[in-house]
């Protein structure tokens, strides 16, 4: 074979139309073999002779897309010193753009003997491990362009590629559970009708199905077990030979429908696990450069992820890997942003979480990555890892405080009203002090991890029997309420209450400042039967049901109307925190937001702190958004009045005085009795227990408008 020196960058296998350049980083190898694998697993080993700056490289003319390959790295195997090179294992290229096959559960992929872990295992792993594939960079993107929405315009739909599409009868059977299924017109039309404009896909980087799960006929359904940070997971492809092309086509189709694509990415650890894990890639290439090892015991891994290992965030190789991967997904795969799993681990350059870490510095100065959506899951399982409200500018966060507070309020937990008000207003107490804005808060009530929305109002306890872990898995603190019956019931009062509660959560999301996110299937009351940790359930427990019922139809219709209301009215999606003090002027002055008791009197400190307070009303001033649109015109909207009753009894609410508006029309009612009804200043409304009313005052031409008072900043409303 004609072998040329090639170049050390870019890393990975790069096809140029005539041949392929291969480049692999390892700082400890004594030699490296590039292994070309045929379809029948015949192996041709090519010893690389060129090494620059710890990158071994070669250019092979005639090697084209579809070529299978891997590496064998010769070097020290000394776990006590942190080194685990093992040339008997065929290793994945960390930069592989596509990966074939899956890891088999046998001893050959481990560097020790199962029956005697102290003894080396030199069995060849070829045939039992995944293979890297050369890919073509060429694709006809035509006129594809990112929708480029501002954060405050987003409604995010968290979805699983397989779970969203696997049971959809409107998708051809061979495309269900695949990227092509997500990009199919049936899926896109559904998302458009619902009104969401960004889909956040659960992990699609190539991941490993854990052997211990396969032994129990389960699987790593969620996919938080990455091994290939550049490769779309091959299990979600309808055509294993064209995984990259299929993923790109999905993104292109979603963009044509004006829907953004956000990826849930797992850069905090890999699928190689702890010191007893398999040798698949990083471990055998340069263990000490990729993984964080225990300082005084380098045979073991420092773990802040609960998975067995953590990547070494002060290693130049790791930082380059992550940044190269992020740029690749933006530049070559055209995705619009990322949600970073256990993001606190990425900020642990040393031991503590540090928002001045090298990872954040690289993100912020990067001309590509800094311009897309960046969303943190702002916690990990390590000490001091809960960092809600503490990430730097540019970042939005899954607001765990929002989730917990909203759940508490609607299940009737006492002493939550003040914090609840702050969450509705965008959580300025968490984000404003360092210059961040409401967009920093990704508001959610449910996500993949935990109860679905239906189960949140149907179960007091988790029911994870199908996971086979004796009920030890999954959270025991769900902040849920079953509305009077555990699980399925035919009691009409319980069913009606559950319907109101589901709608209450959706309505709360859509009238809150910040960025709303709903979990796929919540809009049709998807259930997991009380399983709050369905990570291993690749079956109907986790898949979205497309069977229409009276309940699913009613929930979908309400969710669609709530999203549409938010989209139509910028007063619900401000770019800035509220300002203005309604207590400083006369009756003609109105603040940007005014908090009221049910009798329409203004909230006082005593009102906020009342231990048994379960009701709230607030006025949103459509004249006082105080922001220009993209053309520089001042944004003006209708006024809105939102009434919330989380009490177990019906409560009378009084429409505020004439100065707030003469007439009000009900746009949303989670009890559905008042929709479209008109009420006037001073009238009383009997609000059903545990329900929400959203009312609009649309000013008539020439109608007098109140003076806007925006001189003083409203202090954050919270009791934390």
Residue 523: pLDDT band with limits 50, 70, 90: very high
Q: Cα(252)–Cα(280) distance, rounded to whole angstroms?
A: 32
Residue 187: pLDDT band with limits 50, 70, 90: very high
Superfamily of domain 12-134: Immunoglobulins (2.60.40.10)
Give the pLDDT confidence score for residue 330 in this predicted structure.
Answer: 98
Residue 711: pLDDT band with limits 50, 70, 90: very low
577, 592 contact by CB (below 8 A): no
Give the pLDDT confidence score for residue 384 in this predicted structure.
Answer: 81
Query: Residue 51: in which H helix or E strand, if any?
Result: strand 50-52
Give the pLDDT confidence score for residue 714 in this predicted structure.
Answer: 41
Give the pLDDT confidence score for residue 351 in this predicted structure.
Answer: 66
Min mean pLDDT across 47-61, 488-502, 594-608 is at: 594-608
Provide CB contacts within 8 A for 33, sequence distance 6+: 45, 46, 47, 48, 71, 72, 73, 74, 87
Residue 584: pLDDT band with limits 50, 70, 90: very low
Q: What's the rounded mean pLDDT across residues 4-27?
A: 98
The total number of residues written for the chain in this structure: 720
Q: What's the rounded mean pLDDT across residues 422-442?
A: 94
Chain segment 652-695, per-residue pLDDT in tens? 999 999 889 999 999 999 999 999 999 999 999 999 999 999 99
Which spans in 395-460 are helix H?
A: 400-410, 417-424, 428-431, 453-456
In order, the DSSP letters of 506-522 are HHHHHHSSSEEEEETTG
Q: Cα(58)–Cα(34) distance, rounded to whole angstroms?
A: 9
Residue 710: pLDDT band with limits 50, 70, 90: very low
Asked if 12-134 and 580-697 have one fold, the answer is: yes
Chain segment 80-123, per-residue pLDDT in tens? 999 999 999 999 999 999 999 999 989 999 999 999 999 999 99
Residue 631: pLDDT band with limits 50, 70, 90: confident
- Mean pLDDT in the chain? 93
Residue 265 pairs in a beta bridge with 340
514, 441 contact by CB (below 8 A): yes
**Domain segments of the chain: what residues?**
12-134, 580-697
In order, the DSSP letters of 321-386 are HHHHHHHHHHHTT---EEEETTHHHHT-SSSS--TTSHHHHHHHH-TTGGGSEEEE----SSTT--
Q: Cα(699)–Cα(337) distance, rounded to whole angstroms?
A: 39
Give the pLDDT confidence score for residue 629 in this predicted structure.
Answer: 78
220, 207 contact by CB (below 8 A): yes
Give the pLDDT confidence score for residue 702 in this predicted structure.
Answer: 55
Q: Which candidate, 531, 521, 582, 584, places its Cα nearest to that of 556?
A: 521
Q: What are phi and psi of 519, to 5 degrees?
A: -95, 140
CATH number for domain 580-697, candidates 3.40.640.10, 3.30.830.10, 2.60.40.1180, 2.10.109.10: 2.60.40.1180
Residue 712: pLDDT band with limits 50, 70, 90: very low
On the question of pLDDT at 632 being above 60, the answer is yes
On the question of pLDDT at 256 being above 60, the answer is yes
102: burial class by Cβ within 10 Å (0-12, 13-18, 19+)? middle
Give the pLDDT confidence score for residue 709 in this predicted structure.
Answer: 46
Angle between helices 492-511 and 400-410 (to 10 degrees): 140
Give the pLDDT confidence score for residue 434 in this predicted structure.
Answer: 87
Give the pLDDT confidence score for residue 701 in this predicted structure.
Answer: 57
Q: Cα(461)–Cα(628) distance, rounded to whole angstroms?
A: 48
On the question of pLDDT at 316 being above 90, the answer is yes
Give the pLDDT confidence score for residue 379 in this predicted structure.
Answer: 86
Q: Which residues are catalytic?
A: 341, 377
The pTM for the full model equals 0.95
Q: What's the rounded mean pLDDT across residues 610-634?
A: 86
């Amino acid at each position: 074979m004609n072998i040329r020196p090639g170049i050390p960058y870019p890393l990975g296998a790069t096809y140029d139309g005539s041949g392929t350049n291969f480049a692999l980083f390892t700082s400890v190898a004594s030699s490296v073999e590039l292994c070309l694998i045929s379809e029948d697993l015949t192996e041709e080993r090519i010893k690389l002779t060129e090494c620059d700056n710890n990158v071994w490289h070669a250019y092979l003319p005639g090697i084209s897309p579809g070529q299978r390959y891997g590496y064998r790295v010769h070097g020290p195997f000394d776990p006590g010193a942190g080194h685990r090179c093992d040339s008997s294992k065929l290793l994945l290229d960390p930069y592989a753009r596509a990966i074939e096959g899956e890891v088999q559960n046998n001893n050959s992929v481990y560097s020790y003997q199962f029956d005697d872990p102290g003894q080396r295992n030199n069995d060849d792993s070829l045939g039992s491990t995944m293979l890297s594939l050369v890919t073509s960079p060429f694709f006809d993107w035509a006129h594809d362009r990112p929708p480029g929405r501002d954060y405050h315009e987003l409604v995010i739909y968290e979805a699983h590629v397989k779970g969203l599409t696997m049971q959809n009868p409107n998708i051809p059977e061979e495309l269900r559970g695949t990227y092509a299924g997500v990009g199919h017109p049936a899926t896109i039309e559904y998302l458009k009708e619902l009104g969401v404009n960004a889909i956040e896909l659960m992990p699609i980087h190539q991941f490993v199905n854990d052997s211990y799960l396969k032994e129990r006929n389960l699987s790593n359904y969620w996919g938080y077990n990455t091994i290939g940070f550049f490769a779309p997971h091959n299990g979600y492809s309808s055509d294993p030979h064209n995984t990259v092309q299929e993923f790109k086509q999905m993104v292109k189709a979603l963009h044509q429908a004006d829907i953004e694509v956000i990826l849930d990415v797992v850069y905090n650890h890999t699928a190689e696990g702890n010191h007893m894990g398999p040798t698949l890639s990083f471990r055998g290439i340069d263990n000490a450069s990729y993984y964080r090892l225990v300082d005084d015991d380098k045979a073991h891994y420092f773990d802040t992820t609960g998975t067995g290992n953590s990547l070494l965030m002060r290693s130049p190789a790791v930082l380059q890997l992550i940044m190269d991967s992020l740029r690749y997904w933006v530049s070559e795969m055209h995705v619009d942003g990322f949600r970073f799993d256990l993001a606190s681990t990425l900020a642990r350059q040393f031991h503590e979480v540090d928002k001045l870490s090298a990872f954040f510095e690289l993100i912020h100065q990067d001309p590509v990555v800094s311009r897309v959506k960046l969303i943190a899951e702002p916690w990990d399982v390590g000490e001091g890892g809960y960092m809600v409200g503490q990430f730097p500018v540019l970042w939005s966060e899954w607001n765990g405080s929002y989730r917990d507070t909203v759940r508490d309020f609607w299940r009737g937990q006492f002493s939550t009203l003040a914090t609840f008000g702050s969450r509705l207003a965008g959580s300025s107490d968490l984000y404003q002090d360092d210059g961040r804005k409401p967009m920093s808060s990704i508001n959610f009530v449910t996500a993949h991890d935990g109860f679905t929305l239906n189960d949140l109002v149907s179960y007091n306890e988790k029911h994870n029997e199908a996971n086979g872990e004796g009920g030890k898995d999954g959270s025991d603190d769900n902040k849920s309420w079953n509305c009077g019956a555990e699980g399925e019931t035919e009691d009409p009062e319980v069913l009606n209450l559950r319907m109101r509660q589901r709608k209450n959560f959706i309505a709360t999301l859509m009238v809150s400042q910040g960025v709303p996110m709903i979990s796929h299937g919540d809009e049709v009351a998807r259930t997991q039967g009380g399983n709050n940790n369905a990570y291993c359930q690749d079956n109907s427990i986790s898949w979205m049901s497309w069977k229409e019922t009276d309940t699913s139809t009613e929930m979908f219709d309400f969710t669609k109307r709530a999203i549409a209301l938010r989209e139509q009215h910028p007063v619900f999606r401000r770019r800035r925190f509220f300002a203005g003090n309604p207590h400083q002027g006369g009756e003609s002055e109105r603040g940007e937001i005014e908090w009221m008791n049910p009798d329409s009197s203004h909230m006082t400190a005593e009102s906020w702190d009342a231990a048994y307070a379960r009701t709230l009303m607030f006025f949103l001033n459509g004249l006082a958004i105080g922001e220009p649109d993209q053309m520089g015109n001042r944004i003006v909207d209708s006024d809105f009045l939102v009434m919330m009753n989380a009490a177990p009894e019906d409560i009378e609410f009084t429409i505020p005085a004439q100065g707030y508006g003469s007439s009000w029309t009900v746009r949303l009612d989670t009890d559905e009795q008042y929709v479209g009804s008109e009420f006037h200043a001073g009238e009383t409304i009997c609000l059903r227990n545990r329900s929400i009313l959203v009312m609009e005052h649309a000013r008539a031409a020439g109608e007098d408008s109140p003076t806007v008072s925006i001189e003083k900043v409203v202090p954050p409303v919270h009791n934390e």
